[in-house]
Structures are given as C-alpha cells and as structure tokens.
Structure 1
Amino acid sequence: MMAMRYRIALPADYPMEIIERRIAERGHLTDGLPGLGLKAYLYSRAGEDGAAANVYAPFYLWRASEGMRDFLSGPGFAALCGSFGRPVVESAVAWFGEWKNDVAEARHAAVEKLLLPAGEGMDVLRAAQEGWRESLWNGDGELAVAAAFDPASWTLVRLRLSRRPFEPDGGGARELYRVGRVSLG
C-alpha cells in the first residue's frame, strides 16, 4: 500500500466555497477508482478548526502503485493541475492503512509529518506505529488510521479521520482539516 498526498495552499481571501463545490460536484469520480483504497478530500479554512491557512489537501491510500501511476497520468489529475498548477506530490510506503465501514461519516482529519529518528531501527519504528494504531483503533472515535514512511526524507506521515474535531497540537506537526468527502476504490 502507498500513501500519497498533495497540499495546495490558497490565498487568505480565496473563497473556499469553490473547493467545497468542487468536492461535491467531482468527488464521486474517484469512487471505485482502480487501485485506490481510500481518498479523503481534505481542506481547511484559515482561522477555523485550528487551521492556519486556506488549503486543499487530498490524502490517498493506494492498494497498488499502478493505480497511483494511472491517476497521476490521467484526466482527473490533469484537470486539478489546470486549475491550480502542478502540485508537489508526496508519496510514502504505508505500514498500514485501515478504515471502518462508516468511514464516509468522517468530518475531521489530522495529518502529521514527523522526522524518523536516525538511531532507531525500522522494525522498532514500525512497532511503535502499530502501537499507535492499536491505541486509537479500539475506541469509537477513529474511522481511519494510516502510517507511512518516506525513505527519501525519512519522514513519517500519519493520517486520522474522525467524526469529531481534533485539538491543535501546539507544535505545528499536526495539520487539521475538514473532510469534504471520502471515496473508496
């Protein structure tokens, strides 16, 4: 499984209703997309829900790299690039990505990007993320969790989707978003 995301920063005066309308009108186009596990249509409004800026930031979990390849080479991504320019696309190898049957009810997301400690073995880091997942997964709040690592930059990327809002972390490692829609492959 692969995690993929891009983050499009928008001007402070950008009418975020455009993003909400885009998600409402086009979001269904990724339902059933070959190779896709999950796509969360994430966005934030500056000053709301702990967000610092207006941002459109979809997060994908791909079951197969061919699905990711075909999406990035296809008309949907070309349309996004036509509207906003070509974004930097981050990808990472997923240790896990899990979601519950009612994941479409998610309204809030938290995305964390953290440096992996150089002195720790990958087996230890993976076990720590498995523990993180277990600590969240058995409760009733989380609808999806994922952890992935980028071996080019040795960063960890974690995703949480929930019905309830998250608290800002104060350190800036956690980005908070609204969930406009969830598509499943």
Structure 2
Amino acid sequence: MLTMQYRIVLPTDYPMEIIERRIAERGHLTDGLSGLAFKAYLYAIKGEPGAAANAYAPFYLWRTAEGMRDFLSGPGFAALSESFGRPIVNGGVAWFGEWKGEAEAARHAVIERLSLAAAESLAARRAAEEDWGRTRLQDANTLAAASAFDPSTWLLTRIVLLREAPDNLALGCEHYRVGRVSLGAE
C-alpha cells in the first residue's frame, strides 16, 4: 500500500465554505475508485487547535500504485490543478493501513510526522508501527489508522481518522476536519 497527500494552503480570509461545498458536491466521485483503499477529504480552519492555516489537504491510502498513477493523470486531479494550481504530492510506503467498517463516519483527523533516525532498525520500526496502528484501532473513537514512510526524506507519517475531535493534541500534530471519506473498490 501507498499513501499520498497534498496540502493546498489558502488565504486567511478564504471562505472555507467553498471547500466544504466542493467536498459535498464532488466527493462522491472517488467512491469505488480502482486501487484506492480510502480517501479522507481533510481541511483545516486557521485558529482551530492544530491548524496553522486554512488548508485543503486530502489524504489517500492506495492499495495499488496503478490506482495512484491513474488518479494523478486523470480528470479529478486535473480539475483540482486547474482550480488551485498543481500541488506538491507527498507520498509514502505504508507500513500499516486499516480501517473499520464505519470509517465513513470520521469527522476529524490527526496527522503526526516523525523523523526516522539513521541508526534505527527499519524492521523493528515497521513492527512498532503495526503495533501502533492495531492499538489505535482498539479505541472506539478511531475509525482508521495508517503509517507510512518516505524513503527520500526518512519521514514517518501517521494518520488517524476519528469520530470526535481529539481530547488532547500532541505538540506538532496537525488537526483536520474530515468532510468525507470515500472507500475505494475492493
């Protein structure tokens, strides 16, 4: 599995209702998408805890590289690029990615990014990330969890999709609202 996210930072006075409407009107277009595990339509509103700026920042968990390739070269991403400019797309190789049957009920997401130390055993870290994900999914508020690393930067990205806003937000974590979750084709 692979992860992918792009983050479009919007002006402070940008009416975020436009993003909410865009998600409501177009979000269904990724339902059942080939190669997709899930897409979380994330957005942040400046001033809310964990939100440094207004942003639209969808997160994808892909089952296949072909699905990701086809999406990036397809009409949906072309329309996004036409509206906001072509964003930088960050990706990673997933060490963990699971979701519950009610993942579509997620309304909040927390993303954490950690540097992987050069001396760290990647095999041990992979096992630790699987444990992290399974532990997170035991929490009734957690509907999905994914962990992935980017071998070009050795950055680890973790995401959890939640029913309710987190009680505590760890320092450096990003908090997003979830406008919709699309599940891909099996």
**TM-score by structure 1 length?**
0.96
Shift of residue 165, structure 1, vs aligned partner: 0.8
1:76-131 Cα offsets, whole Å, 9 max, x none, are 00000000001000110001210000011100000111111111111111121122
* Partners of 2:117 and 2:163 in 1: CA distance: 32
Match of 1:101 in 2: 101
What is aligned with 2:178? 179
What secondary structure sits across from 1:32 in the alignment? coil
Aligned equivalent of 1:66? 66
Structure 2 gaps of 5+ residues are: none
* Contact 1:109–1:161 (CA under 8 A) maintained in structure 2: yes
Cα distance in structure 1, aligned partners of 2:175 and 2:127: 25
* 1:38-95 CA-partner distances (Å, limit 9, x unpaired): 0000001011243121010000001100000000000100000000001000110001
SS at match of 2:52: coil
- Paired residue for 2:57? 57
Find the aligned partners of 2:96 and 2:135 in 1 and give their Cα distance.
14
Greater shift in the superposed pair: 109-118 or 35-44:
109-118
Q: Following the alignment from structure 1 to structure 2, what is the Cα–Cα distance between the partners of residues 46 and 147?
A: 25
Quote the residue 1:84 is aligned against. 84
Q: Is the 8 A contact 1:2 1:62 kept in 2?
A: yes
Deviation (angstroms), 1:164: 1.3
In the TM superposition, what is the alpha-carbon distance from 1:139 to its structure 2 partner?
A: 2.1
For residue 135 of structure 1, report the CA deviation from its aligned partner.
2.2
Poorly superposed stretches of 4+, deviation over 6 Å: none
Which residue matches 1:41? 41
**Residue correspondences, number:** 183
Offset of residue 181 of structure 1: 0.1
Q: Distance in 2 between matches of 1:96 and 1:168?
A: 21
Task: Report if aligned partners of 1:44, 1:56 keep a CA contact under 8 Å in 2.
Answer: yes
Over residues 12-49 of structure 1, what are the superposed CA-to-partner deviations in whole Å (9 max), with x where a residue is unaligned? Answer: 00000000000000000000111111000000101124
Aligned to 1:2: 2
Could you say what the CA RMSD is over the residues aligned between the two structures, in angstroms?
0.9
Structure 1 unaligned regions, length at least 5: none
Aligned equivalents of 1:26, 1:147: Cα separation in 2: 27
- Structure 2 residue aligned with 1:126: 126
**What secondary structure sits across from 1:90 in the alignment?**
strand
The 8 Å contact of residues 49 and 177 in structure 1, kept in 2 or not, is answered as no
Identical columns (%): 63
Q: Deviations over 1:122-151 (max 9, x none)?
A: 111112112211321222111000001110
The residue identity in structure 2 corresponding to 1:180 is: G
Contact 1:49 1:165 in 2 (8 A): no
